[in-house]
Amino acid sequence: MIDSKAIKAIIDKFEGKEGVRGVIIADSNGLPIKSNLDISIAENVSAYIMSLIGKAEQCVDALQEGNLNFIRLETSKGEVMVAREEQFILIILK
């Protein structure tokens, strides 16, 4: 498991960037470990992202494109970026 100092450093790094509205670090099951958002919001976002990851993995597998590592969505309000690592999932709302 990733240690708490590393988690704090990741959140601090992205939280300070211009336009970042929220940062969530979730475990590989999608449960929020740490966030700068309200816990209920972090849980909802993580649940939706896990659903999205599942669908995206199906697409990547069907296209035989290897492994899913990163998702970027542009929305009318900004961007949602998702990076998957072995031990955690990083979600950034910008």
Cβ atoms 73, 88 nearer than 8 A? no
* Number of domains composing the chain: 1
CATH of the domain at 8: 3.30.450.30
pLDDT at 3: 79
* Stretches in the chain below the pLDDT threshold 50: none
3-state SS track over the chain = CCCHHHHHHHHHHHHCCCCCCEEEEEECCCCEEEECCCHHHHHHHHHHHHHHHHHHHHHHHHCCCCCCCEEEEECCCCEEEEEECCCEEEEEEC
Put simply, whether the predicted model's pTM sits higher than 0.85 gets the answer: yes
Domain with 45, as residue range(s), is 4-93
pLDDT at 32: 95
